Structure 1
Amino acid sequence: MKFNWGTGIVLAFIGFISFIMYFIVTMHTDAKYDHDLVTEDYYKQELEFQNDIDKEKNSKDLTSNITWKKTNDGILIVFPEALKAEKISGKVFLYRPSNKQFDFDTAISLSNHNLLIPDKRLLDGRWNIKVDWEYNGKSYLFKKEIVY
């Protein structure tokens, strides 16, 4: 067989296509490259988006909103002092963009306007925190992207 420009170009194409196919197969089959960037019920959450906008507007109308801080024991979520703690109810949802297996939610159970998310449930890295809460029949929402 004679090796000329045409043969070289064909071999280069075959080599390039082989590399790309190897890369695609590796990315789809290897678990370490598996990243979950959206939630399972994405479309359901999209339909509730206007409700979330209204709840966030209610939160911004408060004199003081929820604050959070990182402590040695975990993440401390502080609710407004002007509200009565026993009338606050709702859920806290922590979403890990890189791995859905670490997502969890917990009911709001306050101790002196504070809610502690224990350190043992949190891995280092980025978390999206969503506090969906209610006070006197009015709904509120607090969202924040945090790095723990």
Structure 2
Amino acid sequence: MNWGYKIIIVFVLFAAGMLTLVAKSLRTRIDMVTPDYYKEELRYQQVIDGKRNASGLSAPLGISQSDAAIVLTFPAEMRNPGVNGELKFYRPSDAGKDINVPLKIAAAGEQQLDKQLFTKGLYKVIVQWTMNDRPFYMEEMITVN
């Protein structure tokens, strides 16, 4: 075989490989953490203040799992009606499985969420709340099983 044919074969294989890579990259789904990522980044000072305020609580938020529910246990000072906030369960692998729930603390200082809402796997739990006009923020990774 002539060396000219070998060069043509190498170029054809290279072009086929590049077309394959382009086709695969166009089919790959890319999820951002939030759709309004840049606006969230500008409000990051609130997160910093919220983390600082949350570290000053008498006890940290507790997250545990039973067979039927995910239980969030809050410190004693959060058991008042002036607490407003939101629970976000962010699924890094699939944005369609994210769950947002309003914060509703029971008299015992707990909030329970039915495990049927979740699929098994890794979630980032983000809790944002305000109490007496002070922001609070906490995040933790959990694996729902």
Aligned mates of 1:19, 1:136 — CA distance in 2: 60
Provide the rounded CA distance (Å) in 2 between the counterparts of 1:89 and 1:116. Answer: 16
**Secondary structure of the residue that 2:10 maps to in structure 1?**
helix
- Is structure 2 residue 102 aligned with structure 1 residue 128? no
Kept in 1, the 8 Å contact 2:46–2:135? The answer is no
Partners of 1:58 and 1:140 lie apart in 2 by: 6
Q: Which residue of 2 aligns with 1:75?
A: 70
Alignment length, in residue pairs?
143
* Match status 1:65 vs 2:60: yes
Asked if structure 2 preserves the Cα contact closer than 8 Å seen for 1:89 and 1:108, the reply is: yes
Deviation readout 1:67-94 (Å, 9 max, x if unpaired): 1012112211111124434332211111
Please give the secondary structure, in 2, of the residue aligned with 1:86. Answer: coil
- Conservation of the 8 A alpha-carbon contact between 2:122 and 2:141: yes
1:50 maps onto 2:48 in alignment: no
Tell me the residue number matched to 2:24: 26
Identity of aligned residues (%): 24
| Aligned alpha-carbon RMSD (Å) | 1.8
Please point out which of 2, 5, 19 is paired with 1:4.
2
Residue matched to 2:100? 105
Q: Distance in 1 between matches of 2:72 and 2:104?
A: 11
Runs of 4+ in 1 over 4 A off after TM superposition: none
Greater CA drift, 40-49 or 69-78: 69-78
Structure 2 runs not aligned, ≥5 long: none
Report what 1:86 is aligned to. Answer: 81
User: How does the TM-score come out when normalised to structure 1?
Assistant: 0.85
